Every structure is written in C-alpha cells, then in structure tokens.
Amino acid sequence: MNRLSILIGLLLILFACKPPTPIDHIDVLATYDSVYTTADIQWHKQYYPLLDQQVFSIDLLSDGLAFDSAHHIVGTGVNLYLSDIFLPIEYTKLQNGTYRMDSTAAPYTFLPYMYFEGNSTGCYMLDIEESQIKRIIGFTNGYVEIQSTGEDIQMNFTLYLADSTCYHATYQGPAIYR
C-alpha cells in the first residue's frame, strides 16, 4: 500500500505542475496595428568584414511609439525590427524588390529571428508598454516587398511565426536613413 500511495502522490504532483498555457499568437498578432507610422532605416555599411555586402536594418514604429533624443523607443505600441538586411556592395540605400528571410546573407535577404550571444536579432516584433518591453515575438519565415520613389518608401511585409501563423504589415512614408 505504501508504493501505491507514493505513486498516487507523484501523479497528483505531476498533474498539478502542468506547464502554463502558451500565448495564443493569433490573438496576439490580431491585436497589433499592422500599419506602421515611423520608419528608421539604418545603413551599417560593410558591418561584417568577411562579407562583401552592404548591411541595413529597419525599425518600424506603430502609432504611440517614438524615438527620444538618445534614439531609444518610448511610449506604448509595437516595434517591428529587421536586422541584417543584405544588399550587393554597390548600394548605399535599400533597393526596390523582394527581400526574403534567409540565414545565408545572400543579397536581398534578411535574417530570421534568433537569440544570439544574449541578444535578440533578426526579424522580430517588440510589444512595448510604457517604454518597457512586454514581449518579443520572433518571425522565422517571410518576405518584404520594397518600392522606393524619391524620398518615400512603401514596404509590404508578409511574416510567419514558427507555427505558420501569418502577419501582414505595411509602411508608406518618408525613407529616413541614418
């Protein structure tokens, strides 16, 4: 009877310790405004010495977010970030075309979300509340179509989570490079 009591006790403990319910990414993404109001495009030149590529990143801010004087994001909203966008060496600005998420660093690609050396990098979304990061949502596949005309740029994003949930986002407005 002693073994049976221990077994029942272990089963009760096991069922009481079930993992928390995962975040429903479909509901999370549905709550975000997919039209961004601010775009900051950063040209990192030849950031990787072993690659003969130009490297860019894009910070998109939803309504409710802004950059302060130190270029930190403040407010409440969503920040869509794409790091390590690769282009051939001759370009100093983003070019018209379709950029695909890929980890090869080939021209017209950008990195998927990854956690590298203690930092988030690649393509991800920050859910920001009162200037504090509430959650990071990483994308593992997708593409962005970019069309630039003069000082303006239009970007249409189709991004996927690991569970194949799709997120669409757009930005149309000034192309601010720094």
DSSP designation for 163: T
**Which pLDDT does position 27 carry in this prediction?**
57
How far apart (Å, rounded) are the C-alpha atoms in residues 92 and 45? Answer: 8
Closest to 95 (Cα-Cα) out of 83, 106, 107:
107
**Which pLDDT does position 150 carry in this prediction?**
83
**3-state SS, residue 143:** strand
For the whole model, what pTM was predicted? 0.81
pLDDT, block means (10 residues), the chain with 178 residues: 44 38 51 83 84 92 93 94 94 96 95 91 94 93 94 94 92 88
φ and ψ at residue 15, rounded to 5 degrees: -70, -30
How far apart (Å, rounded) are the C-alpha atoms in residues 67 and 65? Answer: 7
**Which pLDDT does position 177 carry in this prediction?**
83
| Token reading at 1 | 């009877």
What are the angstrom distances between the C-alpha of 73 and each of 86, 127, 151? 24, 11, 23
